[in-house]
Amino acid sequence: MKRSVIVGGVLAGAVVLVLAGVAWWLVSADQPRPAAPTTAASSTVTPSAQPAVDLPTAVERQLHAYADACTQPATTVPDHCGIVIPWAADLAELTGVAFRIEQRPTVAISPDSSSFDATGGVLVATVTGTTRDGATATFTYRTDTWTLRGDIDDEDGRIVVSVR
């Protein structure tokens, strides 16, 4: 039984990572990129005709996609998603987690635009599992302080958000 739980947890983690990668790819695909240098000797980049990137909007869109990937139904609590669920206080074994985002965290970008804090999110998690006496049970947990933190990078004119 434990082997199936471990395999299920690994598969759920892989699904979360794939969904996060796809969401990142979809969101970052429409970010403007600078034009190529006009000559090989030039050290400056000619800006493209596209409008400047709206940093707060780009960061927020990527974080929304990331949060959506983090909150997919799973058999484990996903890593690097700012989610802490004290399920072990009520269950001996966790078999499933379903999430509901009631309020997304509010994004604040550092003055130097190199990092962000997204705080004040409201997240509800309903967990299912086996209690210590062997019964199947469901518990619901809520946090009003769901937080994601990370770094912001400009990679060839694309804004890339990395959650810590």
Confidence at residue 140, expressed as pLDDT on a 0 to 100 scale = 98
Does residue 129 form part of some domain?
Answer: yes
67/27 Cα distance (integer angstroms): 13
| Structure token digits, residue 104 | 């997304």
Confidence at residue 86, expressed as pLDDT on a 0 to 100 scale = 96
106/47 Cα distance (integer angstroms): 31
Does residue 47 form part of some domain?
Answer: no
35/102 Cα distance (integer angstroms): 41
Does residue 46 form part of some domain?
Answer: no
Return per-residue pLDDT of the chain as tens, 164 residues: 444 444 344 344 444 444 444 344 444 444 443 333 333 332 233 344 445 668 999 999 999 999 999 999 999 999 999 999 999 999 999 999 999 999 999 999 999 999 999 999 999 999 999 999 999 999 999 999 999 999 999 988 889 999 98
Confidence at residue 51, expressed as pLDDT on a 0 to 100 scale = 52
Confidence at residue 16, expressed as pLDDT on a 0 to 100 scale = 43
Confidence at residue 92, expressed as pLDDT on a 0 to 100 scale = 97
150/147 Cα distance (integer angstroms): 10
Confirm if 5 and 93 have CB atoms less than 8 A apart: yes
Task: Please report the sign of the dihedral spanned by the C-alpha atoms of residue 49, residue 55, residue 57, residue 62.
Answer: positive
Residue 158's φ and ψ, nearest 5 degrees, are -105, 135
Name the residue range of residue 36's domain: 2-41+52-163
Strand-pair partners of 148: 118
Does residue 74 form part of some domain?
Answer: yes
Does residue 22 form part of some domain?
Answer: yes
Domain count, the chain: 1
